[in-house]
Amino acid sequence: MAKGRMDLNEFVGKLLAEQDGDVLREGIRVLAQALMESEVAGLIGAERHERTSERAGYRNGYRMRTWDTRVGTIELAIPKIRPGSYFPSLLEPRRRAERALLAVVQEAYVHGVSTRKVDDLLKALGLDGMSKSEVSRICTELDADVEAFRSRPITGEHPYLWIDATYHKVRQDGRVQSMATVVAIGVTADGERQVLGVDAGPSEDAAFWTAFLRSLVKRGLRGIRLVISDAHEGLKKALATVLGGASWQRCRVHFMRNLLATVPHGAREPVAALVRTIFAQPDHRSALAQLQKVADGLRARFPQAAALLEEAAEDVLAHRHFPVEHRARLHSTNPLERLHKEIKRRSMVVGIFPNRGALLRLVGAILAEQDDEWAVADRRYFSAESMKQLTQPLVTTSQEELLAAIS
């Protein structure tokens, strides 16, 4: 048996040395795919399209992931299952020492440790030190993975889309400037959450937002019913241009800040309490009627706040046209705020990014990690049953109904 293993090792070594790399890569990919399908069949108790009484789950599409091997990078289609999750055994690390070295360097980077500190970190863990150039080389290797993540096809419909931006300091053209980092997440027709896109640019003007949205559409984004965002003028113009058929929900949290900024500090709490009665109404029609009453009550003392309320009426209540089970998560960009907070926490050590590419490398790696966690999580953001309600036409309030409700 030992002799057989030695012969096999010698054969594989010779094959690696002499044969065409493309042929080897394709062979490994086919074998890896077959192994994963076999593992999934054993895990759920059924082959593809097989009906058995032992079935314990179902296949649920694929997620793409790159796999670095001795013969190059291989693109794997990893099966997804429900309920539960699946992770291929073949992606378990190769040699422990190699894995520890690579993982420490890469994780140190994506957790915000700057390259000049990584050498000391490796020594503290009992590993040999590395030169700064070697650390930078390994960090740069993340670029291919991040770019693959940023440019991957978007499949299926995404009825809900959240978009928001945060800012980081980046050295650009010899000076430090604040650069917008925009992130888009969505919910699939099955209720699963996904990171859909990320980009960075010098400003949040209409041209930048338009290019970002068009890149999402080009990758396959479709089926948008509602976009949730802050009221950036550039973004509003881009949404009208690229996603004109979708409704728009103005982030309620940002709106409240804008509205309260128009009243004196001492009046903010009672005004906020009054405005919150609008959002406590059971449906869109009664919420609109209450909004008009609140605006009328504020007009004498706070005309600017009253005007802002009336102007934003449909925008802050757009989520009321959607299923009741979804509304608590549709009225603001809070899901993205939590992601931005995590990005800020990890990027704090970096301080000033050396260039736009370094910023996208870190943010993209963090978002890819988050997307993987969402993909294997055994729960949906919205239930599949509640998502089926989106096939029904939206119910809107006509002008006549509004006037009747107010009177």
Give the per-residue SS3 of the chain. CHHHHHHHHHHHHHHHHHCCHHHHHHHHHHHHHHHHHHHHHHHHCCCCCCCCCCCCCEEEEEEEEEEEECCEEEEEEEEEEECCCCCCHHHCCCCHHHHHHHHHHHHHHHCCCCHHHHHHHHHHCCCCCCCHHHHHHHHHCHHHHHHHHHHCCCCCCCCEEEEEEEEEEEEECCEEEEEEEEEEEEECCCCCEEEEEEEEECCCCHHHHHHHHHHHHHCCCCCCCEEEECCCHHHHHHHHHHCCCCEEEECHHHHHHHHHCCCCHHHHHHHHHHHHHHHCCCCHHHHHHHHHHHHHHHCCCCHHHHHHHHHCHHHHCHHHHCCHHHHHHHCCCHHHHHHHHHHHHHHCCCCEECCHHHHHHHHHHHHHHHHHHHHHCCCCCCCHHHHHHHHCCCCCCCHHHHHHHHC
For range 169-178, the mean pLDDT = 85
Q: Is residue 100 part of a domain?
A: yes
Torsion angle (degrees, nearest 10) of CA 98, 142, 198, 324:
-10
Both 14 and 59 in one domain: the answer is yes
Both 26 and 74 in one domain: the answer is yes
Which of 106, 140, 174 marks a domain boundary?
140
Both 17 and 38 in one domain: the answer is yes
Burial annotation 58-84 (CB, 10 A radius, 16+ → b, else e): ebbbebebebeeebeebebebbbbbee
The whole domain housing 26 covers 2-85
- Tokens at 118, concatenated: 């990584």
- Rounded CA separation 305/140 (Å): 50
Both 26 and 75 in one domain: the answer is yes
Confidence band, pLDDT 50/70/90 cuts, at residue 319: very high
State the burial class of residue 155 (Cβ atoms within 10 Å of its Cβ: 0-12, 13-18, 19+): middle
Q: Is residue 118 part of a domain?
A: yes
Q: Is residue 41 part of a domain?
A: yes
Is 152 or 143 the better-scoring residue by pLDDT? 152
Closest CA to 182 of 405, 341, 340, 32: 340
Q: What is the pLDDT of residue 1?
A: 39
pTM of the predicted structure, to 2 decimals = 0.70
For range 124-153, the mean pLDDT = 73
Confidence band, pLDDT 50/70/90 cuts, at residue 120: low
Q: What is the number of domains present in the chain?
A: 2
7-10 own/partner pairs: CB under 8 Å, 24+ apart: none
Residue 247: HSE in the Cβ half-sphere, 13 Å Cα cutoff: 21
Q: Is residue 70 part of a domain?
A: yes
User: How long is the chain?
Assistant: 407
For range 179-200, the mean pLDDT = 94
Closest CA to 16 of 75, 68, 72: 72
- Residue 161's φ and ψ, nearest 5 degrees, are -135, 125
Contacts of 116 (CB under 8 A, 6+ apart): 132
Strands 72-82 and 247-250: unpaired
Both 73 and 106 in one domain: the answer is no
- Rounded CA separation 196/155 (Å): 10
Confidence band, pLDDT 50/70/90 cuts, at residue 57: confident
Residue 379, pLDDT > 80, answer: no
Q: Is residue 49 part of a domain?
A: yes
- Rounded CA separation 317/313 (Å): 6
For range 168-188, the mean pLDDT = 90
Both 106 and 70 in one domain: the answer is no
CA 68 to each of CA 88, 136, 371: distance values in angstroms, whole numbers, following the listed order: 14, 18, 20
- Among 290-299, 329-338, 396-405, the minimum mean pLDDT is found in 396-405
Q: What is the mean pLDDT of the chain?
A: 81
Q: What is the pLDDT of residue 306?
A: 95
Both 13 and 70 in one domain: the answer is yes
Q: Is residue 253 part of a domain?
A: no
Which of 58, 85, 112 marks a domain boundary?
85
Q: Is residue 67 part of a domain?
A: yes
Confidence band, pLDDT 50/70/90 cuts, at residue 133: low
Q: Is residue 9 part of a domain?
A: yes
Both 125 and 60 in one domain: the answer is no
Both 17 and 55 in one domain: the answer is yes
Which of 85, 108, 128 marks a domain boundary?
85
- Among 199-203, 219-223, 266-270, 303-307, the minimum mean pLDDT is found in 199-203
